[in-house]
Structure 1
Amino acid sequence: MTGPLGFTWRSIRRPATLGLALWSLVQAIPTAISGLAVARALDEGFLAGKPMVGAAWLAAFVGGSLVGAVGARQLYRGLGSLVEPFRDDLVRRVVGGALRRSVAGEADDGAVARLTRQVEIVRDSYAGLLVVVLSFAATAAGVAVGLASVAPAMVVLILPPFLLGVGLFAGTLGLASRRHRESMYADERLATVAGTVLAGTRDVAACGAEDEAAAMVERPIATQAAAERALARVAALRTLCFAIGGWLPLLVLLAGGPWLVSRGLSAGAILGGLTYVLFGLQSTLRTLMNALGDTGVRYIVTLRRILSTGAAFSEPPRRAEVGAGAPPDLAVRGLTFAYGPQADPVLSDLDLTVPYGTHLAIVGPSGIGKSTLAGLLCGLLRPGEGAVELGGVPVESLAPSQLASLRVLIPQEAYVFAGTVLENVSYLNPDVSPVELANAAGAVGAEPLLARLGGLHAEIDPGGLSAGERQLIALVRAYVSPAPVVVLDEATCHLDPVAEERAEEAFGRRPGTLIVIAHRISSARRARQVLVLDGSKAALGTHDTLLETSTLYRDLFGHWAGVNWPDYTARHSTRA
């Protein structure tokens, strides 16, 4: 099964749907007992001269209504477990399709509308249709059980015409979808032609071309009118289906009254059957037809549009693992990366080896590709050519859970979420002890901040923190993580030089590999190795060797340190 219906069927999460179906049955309890309560209240209560018995049956119906209200509440509360994953999948399709077209150089003016409006239309319609269909099935089942409890003979009279009406209505849905789509296209064509003619009204009047202008819009108007008449015919078919499924059972029950009485059915039983038809079957069938005939058609048409413009985003299977005990060295082999097939490479044919335990600084002019390289090293971006290996395994082949346990990246804009301090600093290592957290906070210089916030169990207001305070919390989070590779992408740029030095030296003492995207020259001077990116090639060495061999590094050093390089060279040469 393909198309919108196939996509909808595949998106249904069976366990969650089963739970909603059970609550739908609870919601249908008032309808299921309504006819039975009426029949018993009359036959065993009021008509038998026992008003208290009749009142008790009506009270039971009221109690069932309260239980049904609880079921309805739980039904709507549980919708999120189905609706939100469905919406997330649609968003991934819309964004993925738009990005693919953008990379291919194709314009996609409707992407924002699909993301903001059409996805929400489909989401809301999906939720409504799900509730209606489940409630319809539960109500129909409840009515069938109730009728069988009152008088099995009425099941034979009432359910066949009801099911016939439902089946005929289901057969019109495909036609309704086509007619709705044709009407939408006809309306769009008429709007386009009419807009063209109206924009040239002065020219039409000046040239006396009224007849030609009328002829231009005559055919689109006729097409649009024919499409509207076709929609009206579909609505008439829906009315006929409701008459068969909703009113015919009532007529059959009334016409079969003498036969039912001859079989010993009481007045209360027949009135109970009428209650099931009027307040059970008719009501739920009307709701179903309105929902599927209007919302359902809009859902199908809009979802088809989304599916036609976006393909499913899927990650390739990741099964590789870094062997236990293997040193997680980083190796870059022939790495080339560009943001799109027509774009110039940000990195080109880069080779780099970062043995475990290395402290590496990456420097270069702004926009040269330092953060891009950080994303590639951490597996957040995929190389166009070449590979990035961690522990001898390509990072894109690692399962996300193991990749997360091997490396941690702290970007320049550190993320802090609403919650406690403990939740923010420990979610990369839920088993971390309070002592380890205290040691980490002391090491990176976050102790005063945590004390000011009120300790580990204090609530954090992210908007009330400065950029530097958010960076300190992120640094504690990275420090206590189990990852042996830490990448700090200008993660200390909002700290003062003293605080930055303290944090970087703490990570330098931490077991493992440290890669720093350098914001200040002091970061590069603290590193054992420095990688200089200049857009066409890269240079690797120590601070001292790069001062001798890399013109770009000398320029960067002079800019950062505020020195004149020729004077600096002459002074140091004289001292030598």
Structure 2
Amino acid sequence: MTRDGTTVGGVLRAALARRRRHVVRLLLWSFAETAPSFVSGLAVAHALDDGFAVGRPAVGFGWLCILTAAWLAAAIGARQVLLAIAGIVEPFRDDLLTRVVAGTLHRAAATGRGQDTAAVARLNRQVELARDAFAAVIAVVRSFAFSVTGVVLGVWSLMGSVLPLVLLPLLAGLALFVTSLPSMAARQRRAILAEEGTAASLAAMVDGLRDVRACGAEGRVAARVGRAVDEQAGAATGLARLTSVRTLSLAVGGWLPILLVLAATPSLVRDGATAGVVLGTLTYVAQSLTPALGSLVQGIGVNGVRLTVALERILTTGGNTTTLPAGRSPEAGPPRGTPRGTPRGTPRGGAVRMRGVTFAYGLGAEPVVAGLDLEVPDGEHLAVIGPSGIGKSTVAALAAGVLRPKEGRVLIGGVPVDTLGRAALSRTRVLIPQEAYVFRGTLGENLAYLADSPGSIELDAAVAAVGMTDLAARLGGYAAEVDPAALSQGERQLIALTRAYLSPARLVLLDEATCHLDPAAEARAEEAFARRDGTLIVVAHRLTSALRADRILVMDGSRAMSGTHAELMDASPLYRDLMGRWEAPAPA
């Protein structure tokens, strides 16, 4: 069961139910494709006993012609089977892509993260993996079911007393294989998570190479990436060891019947078995049963486990396909899964309090934030600084309620953020990410989207305060249509900043929301928000932003330290290092 209540089995059943016509076509053509499974042993037995062994070669060749016709029918059926499977799995792939793209866009809009390496992995690897694995599972399960049915009927028609020698080992091999599936799924899941963790660690390292070098953190970062690589290697090794169970299952279910039939041949002959019966039984086992079991073990043991794990990852991280309404601003929206009922209280002001907050991206990942205690009083201006990838945006998203901590509590205005409904949260805080959101519509609609029908005087005041008067005039005024693609990144940031300035929220969080503005424009915008009534938290793009704040939070790994500029210059080596590289040298 995934967090949105959708199960892997439910998704697969729905995919089959929506393609009933293709499923029926698949089953009908499967009779033709698996015809040799029933015909092969009978044809060999009768060709030997009724033909070649008694001097009637014409009869023997006749039975071999029947077997040849069965193989021709199987070739035609195989083509139709592949077309039927494609008719099932291609729409399944499209459904998964729709689900993942919608979920990724929703998260990107909500968090402002322009790049999501896990989402890229899901799109480019896991969706295709799920499609291919689903096709393989359908093919091998169908083939095994029809082949085993054909073998059982064929052996029974030859000599019923031989059937236990074939059927009992097969059941034992299947039981051994089925009992190993949970462990296979767990190890495959660990391997996928470890692969994603390595990708995320490498991406963070590459993005922050300059800061890593500047802060002398090469050893720490190398150790972190090394742990991710070691974890992935260990997961892959554990998964490889478990393949021995598949080999044992195949040996018991597929090859042991041959040994049993050969060992029991003297007894079978005394009971009336002919050479044709023995040879036909061995043909059934070697030509049909063993290959079918091998395909099943390989298909389910590899593709079935991959399908389950990939779907779990897709459904867990992209399962909620709720999309933003037309023109919906992401900074107004709460995180997925926010309770929509009546909140237990109404926030009083824009104060932020974090108590013992710990957060990590993904199972088994190192915490980005560990045991963070932070208090931002109502009306304070806090700047958050630190090297790239250190967790600054994570702190902002936690404070805004976009991310939920693994441990600890986050309160806005004295109210736990996870108890606030969508409307209450959007009126309490506004988060502006680095990639500003502008929708198609008039400039006035974009600016007033979070406000309560502001008049032209309020619009003019906000536009002037943030510093977008020239831009508003150049675009043609508030009634002009806005084309987001025609705007620069800095222009989109100015529009988003003005929208936030006009909102009723007392808590404003700027997550590098001025990074595409020049220093003078950035200073004007931040000073406007500092004068605005309420609390301001700025994830600083430039260190000048920190000097404008009342207090500064320095992120250093999973640790954090807060204080004024003077206090941090005395207490934080990282802060001194960062400021020393920015400030001009003191005169001798």
Q: TM-score, normalised by structure 2?
A: 0.50
Write the distance in 1 (CA, Å) between the matches of 2:301 and 2:329: 44
- Aligned residue among 4, 10, 30 for 1:6: 10
1:281 aligned partner: 289
Instruction: Structure 1: state its 5+ residue gaps.
Output: 316-335, 345-365, 373-382, 386-532, 537-576
Q: Do residues 34 (structure 1) and 40 (structure 2) align?
A: yes
Is 2:10 aligned against 1:65?
A: no
Structure 2 counterparts to residues 143-158 of structure 1, below 5 A: 143-158=151-166
Q: What CA distance in whole angstroms lies between the structure 2 residues aligned with 1:232 and 1:172?
A: 13
Q: How many residues align?
A: 334
Counterpart check, 1:120 vs 2:128: yes
Which residue among 109, 113, 116 is the counterpart of 2:116?
Answer: 109
Partner Cα distance (1:243, 1:118) in 2: 31
Is 1:86 the equivalent of 2:75? no
Residues 327 and 440 in structure 2, CA contact (< 8 A), matched pair in contact too: no
Change (3 A) 1:165 1:263: same
Q: Shift in Å at residue 168 of structure 1? A: 1.7
> How big is the shift at 1:238?
1.0
* 1:39 and 1:268 in contact (8 A); partners too: yes
What is the DSSP-based 3-state SS (H/G/I as helix, E as strand, rest coil) of the residue aligned with 1:70? helix
The answer as to whether partners of 2:255 and 2:290 remain within 8 angstroms in 1 is yes
The letter of the residue matching 1:154 is V
Go from structure 1 to structure 2 and tell me whether the alpha carbon gap of 1:99 and 1:193 turns closer, same or farther (over 3 Å shift).
Answer: closer
8 Å contact 1:25–1:138 — kept in the other structure? yes
In the alignment, structure 1 residue 338 sits paired with structure 2 residue 327: yes
Contact 1:21 1:138 in 2 (8 A): no
> Which digits, 9 at most, give the CA deviation of each residue in 1:511-533, with x for residues without a partner?
xxxxxxxxxxxxxxxxxxxxxx9
C-alpha spacing 1:55/1:367, structure 2 compared with 1 (3 Å)? closer
Offset of 1:313 from its aligned partner?
4.7
Instruction: Say whether residues 1:235 and 2:243 are aligned partners.
Output: yes
2:168 aligned with 1:160? yes
Alignment partner of 2:83 out of 77, 89, 103: 77
Aligned-residue offset at 1:49:
0.8
> What is the Cα deviation at residue 103 of structure 1?
3.9
Matching residue's letter, 1:40? H
Q: 1:187 to 1:307 in 2, by over 3 A?
A: closer
Percent sequence identity is 40
Letter in 2 for 1:109: D
Cα pair 1:118 1:302 within 8 Å, conserved? yes
SS of corresponding position for 2:242: helix
Q: Provide, for residues 544-564 of structure 1, a one-character-per-residue CA deviation record: whole Å limited to 9, x for no partner.
A: xxxxxxxxxxxxxxxxxxxxx
Q: CA deviation at 1:190?
A: 6.2
**Helix, strand or coil: the match of 1:104?**
helix
**Structure 1 17/193 Cα, relative in aligned 2: closer, same or farther at 3 Å?**
closer
Deviation of residue 300 (structure 1)?
Answer: 2.1
State the Cα deviation string for residues 421-465 of structure 1 (Å, max 9, x = none). Answer: xxxxxxxxxxxxxxxxxxxxxxxxxxxxxxxxxxxxxxxxxxxxx
Amino acid at match of 2:39: I
Q: 8 Å contact 2:261–2:282 — kept in the other structure?
A: yes
Cα drift, residue 188 of structure 1:
5.4
Structure 1 residues 84, 222: CA separation in 2 closer, same or farther (over 3 Å shift)?
Answer: closer
Deviation at 1:314, TM superposition (A): 8.2
Q: Distance in 1 between matches of 2:201 and 2:73?
A: 57
**How far apart, CA to CA, are the structure 2 residues paired with 1:534 and 1:193?**
46
Q: Map Cα deviations across residues 156-183 of structure 1 (whole Å, 9 max, x no partner).
A: 2201111221222122122112112223
Partner residue, 1:130: 138
For 1:183-227, what per-residue CA distance to the aligned partner results, in whole angstroms no more than 9, with x for missing partners? 344455567779999999xx99xx9x99x9998788667655543
Cα offsets for 1:71-95 (capped at 9, x unmatched): 1111112223312331222122112
**Pairing of 1:141-220 with structure 2 (within 5 A):** 141-186=149-194
Aligned: 1:16 with 2:22: yes
Displacement of 1:22:
2.0
Once the two structures are superposed, residues 93-152 of structure 1 have per-residue CA deviations (whole angstroms, 9 ceiling, x without a partner) of: 112212322442443624444334432221122122211111111111111111111111
Matches within 5 A, 1:410-449: none
Output the amino acid matched with 1:90. Answer: L
Using the alignment, how far apart are the partners of 2:86 and 2:315 within structure 1?
22
8 A contact 1:25–1:139 mirrored in 2: no
Give the deviation of 1:65 after TM superposition: 0.8
8 Å contact kept, 2:100–2:321: no
Match of 2:487 in 1: none
RMSD between aligned alpha carbons? 4.1
**Could you list the runs of 5+ residues in structure 2 that have no partner in the other structure?**
334-438, 452-477, 482-588
CA gap of 1:197–1:342, structure 2 versus 1, over 3 A, is closer
- Equivalent residue runs for 1:372-387 within 5 Å: none
Q: Give distance in 2, aligned partners of 1:267 and 1:216.
A: 67
Shift of 1:257: 1.2
State whether residues 92 and 312 of structure 1, in contact with CA within 8 Å, keep that contact through their aligned partners in structure 2. Answer: no
Any idea what SS the aligned residue of 2:55 has?
Answer: coil
* Structure 1 residues 79 and 185, CA gap change in structure 2 (3 angstroms): closer
Distance in 2 between residues matched to 1:279 and 1:384, nearest whole Å:
70
C-alpha distance in structure 2 between counterparts of 1:109 and 1:337, whole Å: 23
Q: Does the CA-based 8 Å contact 1:34-1:276 persist in structure 2?
A: yes
Match among 278, 301, 304 for residue 296 of structure 1: 304
The match for 2:392 is none
| Alpha-carbon contact 2:103-2:322 (below 8 Å) kept | no
Show the counterpart of 2:278.
270
